[in-house]
Amino acid sequence: MTDKFSSDLLDASEFLPPGISKESYKELIDLFIDQASVVIDSMEELNSFECFDELRDKAHSIASSAAQLSAKRLSELLYQIENLEVFDKDTICLTLKGINAEFESVKRKFSSM
């Protein structure tokens, strides 16, 4: 069985929009990784201070970008935070651990492009 990649991230070259070079796509990916890294770090701090509305906004700010780059599992976890109806610090902490693990997987996958 081949490893499809733990985060369900598919081969990024399959998702190149028409007219976008691989180099330009790589620049978009690098920008996403830089921005997402800052956002994810801030999400952990926001959770520790129970700033749940801001936490939701941060998740929203990168969830769609993750989906557009085909980082499906990362996007799903971010949407979980974004769509929480009841905020529980411990549950969010577990979800943030999953987000961090998936983000590391995404970075590894994209670094091989």
Q: What is the secondary structure of 38-52 as a DSSP string?
A: HHHHHHHHHHHTT-H
4 belongs to a structural domain: no
How far does Cα 17 stand from its chain's mean position?
20
What is the domain extent for residue 107? 22-111
| Number of independent structural domains in the chain | 1
Q: What is the pTM of this model?
A: 0.82
Nearest to 80 by CA among 33, 46, 104, 72: 72
pLDDT of residue 18: 79
13 belongs to a structural domain: no
pLDDT digits (tens, 9 = 90+) for 1-58: 333 334 454 455 566 677 888 888 889 999 999 999 999 999 999 999 999 999 999 9
8 belongs to a structural domain: no
pLDDT confidence tier of residue 96, bands split at 50, 70 and 90: very high
5 belongs to a structural domain: no
